[in-house]
Amino acid sequence: MLKDKINIKIIKNFESKIMNNKRNIRIYLPPSYSAQPDKYYPVLYVHDGQNVFDALESYSGQSWNLHHTADSLIKEKMIEEIIIVAVDNMGEERLSEYAHQDGFFQGKEIKSRGIKYERFFIKELMPFIERKYRVKKGSKNTALMGSSMGGLVTFNMGLRRPDLFGKLGVVSPSLWWGDNDAAAKLKSYDYPGLKSKIWLDTGDAEGRFMSFTEDVIAEIKNIKNNYDLDLVYYQAPDAVHSESAWAKRVHSPLLYFFGEIGEIETVELIGREEISLNGPQIRLNPVLTFDSSFKITALEGEYKSLKPELLKINNYGTLIPKQTGIAKIEFNVWGYSAFKNIKIVEKLSS
């Protein structure tokens, strides 16, 4: 019988000799944990532990509410039972710990300690968790997730150690960090033979440093197609860079890693319905919604303008207006179709 009360343990002041510091570790235990002492569970490790469960301890006053989402999906039998290990950041040391290369923030140089943080994680934290809690071992049972700089360190650790982490939740990653831009950074990783499942997302209202541009999307498509990666991407409509935005979509990576995503229910072209001849570049977002509520952006598919003399569209969904009028865009993927009317005007109001 599954318990109604959510079980979260807090290990206070977990000491790292490698990092020479102490931090809290928060552990969500699934509903059957105490009732089935012989059962072992997959594990999800999450960075920025203060923000994962409790809004009162989050620096922003918001949390992912990950325990509620996981508990609900488990009780609805949409995902298997999992253990979640939320690892607190160290406040002012957060940027350096989550960075695998040096960088700058607000004019201040930050020396990277990502390799040391990775060693702490692998050599000290994970063995402790495996001794104290009934977690299944092996990369196929071990997921890693984080947002912002936590998303970047997840990507770095996961691609450096696919033997340990077989599921990577890369949420709104800070790919701008360091010497190279986001597209160049994606090109710099070693993908051949990678068998990990990768969830990669961003919000389309996160600002120019965080929202993925066309060249970044092009590189994601290139990586997925050339290396046959098990990678999905989601551009969350109207989503900003915040814990509340991540909370709204975290069910999707949980379903992707630990459950069944179901069947496609709808395809929708999301984006502006009115553009101008000389206005900002607009790109449509083809969102697939599944009957499990899982959502992704289609990286495959074909766009077509039904009035190309008024409006053209490229392979990435970027609209290219030619004349004023109303044009219709068609999108086809995996036997599904979506349509969107776009009004082209001379000039938009401020």
Ordered structural domains, the chain, with CATH = 7-260 (3.40.50.1820), 267-345 (2.60.40.3440)
Scanning the chain, the segments in alpha helix (DSSP H) are 66-75, 94-98, 114-119, 126-132, 149-160, 182-187, 214-227, 243-249, 251-258
**What is the reported pLDDT for 348?**
87
Structure token digits, residue 7:
């079980």
**What is the reported pLDDT for 323?**
97
Neighbouring C-alpha atoms within 13 Å toward the C-beta of 193: 5
List the 197-203 sheet strands across, edge first.
7-16, 21-29, 83-87, 43-46, 142-148, 167-173, 197-203, 230-236, 295-297, 285-290, 264-270
Amino acid at 263: E
What average pLDDT values come out for the chain (350 residues) when binned by 10 residues?
72 98 98 96 97 77 91 97 98 96 91 97 98 98 98 97 98 92 90 94 88 90 91 96 96 98 98 94 96 97 98 97 98 98 91
Q: CA 319 to CA 341: how far, in whole Å?
A: 12
**What is the reported pLDDT for 62?**
80
Place of tokens 């969350």: 236
Please tell me the chain's helix, strand, coil percentages from 3-state DSSP, rounded to the nearest 5: 25, 35, 40
**What is the reported pLDDT for 1?**
41
